[in-house]
Amino acid sequence: MSTVRAKFFKSDLKQSSHFRLGRHLLLTPSAVIDYTLLTASDGNRRIARIVMAAAAKLLTPVVLELGGKSPVIVDSGINLQVATRRIIAGKWGCNNGQACISPDYIITTKDYAQQLNPLESKDLSRIVNSNHFARLVKLLDEDKVSSKIVYGGERDETNLKIAPTILLDVPQDSLTMNEEIFGPLLPVITIEKVEDSFDFINSSGAKPLAAYLFTNNKKLKERFVEKVSAGGLVINDTTVHLAEPTLPFGGVGDSGMGAYHGKFSFDTFKHKKAVLYRSFAGDAPVTVGQIGKILFIIH
């Protein structure tokens, strides 16, 4: 990597993984910042606004990848074992839910909700730090949420571990349904018919970083693509689009702006400079008289 960096990047390349240092560079008049990429681990829009304000002073382009509440719609009549396994992989198998595109909540019909069950994991990732652990416990212990636990809920503060937890029909006005969870809590929201899920997702006004649908229904797939605005959509799986280099990865609206990965990183983080070469021969007509002579000859 050091060889590649030395060959293809300028010697004054500055890279920061620390928010305060990155902001300091943006506010330093002598610093030349061509592009800024912010990936907020839990969709922190407050930090995004600070970075954008700092970048605006230097007219520096910004790419924001901010996360959001990524929903999973589960239709009836599917291979439930495969769907459950893929949801589990995207949620608890993906750093115990601490990933920007991990499934945030499930929407399914009332008669199908009881068939969705997690598989107990013997190898759980720890919660990233004590502050985030406390935040997740606060979500879980909210009065209107704690009574909705149907699976899991155990926590170990010493080792910063929270068991995979399923909550059934959490109120929409709860903290759990109004913040990106970014952890092992998975609400299941029931609706009368699966088509109602699109209105449910759109009712918040926020656009998630990702949205997922499990179905065999062709028309439902088409409506999902048409109705749901998100950074990326996946049908019959979760999170796998992140690893596909031929697809752009990024958010829209509250979940960010701009896209990268694969060739899209080169498209995003470079300037397309227009260059045109001409000789000294064959000037085009520029006056009314010259144009008139050409028209006379043509006619």
Q: Which long-range contacts (CB under 8 A, 24 or more apart) does 42-51 make?
A: 42/67, 42/132, 42/180, 42/182, 43/67, 43/68, 43/100, 43/180, 43/182, 43/209, 43/254, 43/255, 45/254, 47/19, 48/256, 50/23, 51/19, 51/22, 51/23, 51/26
Assess whether 65 carries a catalytic annotation.
Answer: yes
- Per the prediction, the chain carries an average pLDDT of 85
Which residues does residue 106 pair with via DSSP β-bridges, in sequence order?
72, 188
pLDDT at 121: 45
Confidence category of residue 13, pLDDT binned at 50, 70, 90: low
Average pLDDT over residues 69-98: 92
Domain-by-domain residue ranges, the chain? 7-66+253-269, 71-243
Q: 16-51: per-residue pLDDT in tens? A: 555 554 555 555 554 455 666 766 655 577 888 888
Find the catalytic residue in 65, 179, 192, 195: 65
Neighbours of 208 (CB within 10 A): 28
Q: Residue 32 is which amino acid?
A: V
pLDDT at 229: 96
Task: Give the range with max mean pLDDT: 106-115, 124-133, 178-187.
Answer: 178-187
Cα-based distances in Å from 165 to 99, 136, 184, 240, 282? 16, 11, 6, 22, 75
CA 156 to chain centroid: 29
Confidence category of residue 86, pLDDT binned at 50, 70, 90: very high
Q: 223-252: per-residue pLDDT in tens? A: 999 999 999 999 999 999 999 999 999 999
- At residue 109, the 3 state secondary structure works out as strand
Please give the Cα distance from 107 to 87 (Å, whole number): 12
DSSP single-letter state for residue 123 = S
Fold of 71-243: Aldehyde Dehydrogenase; Chain A, domain 2 (3.40.309)
Q: Contact at 8 Å (CB) between 261 and 247?
A: yes
Please give the Cα distance from 152 to 106 (Å, whole number): 16
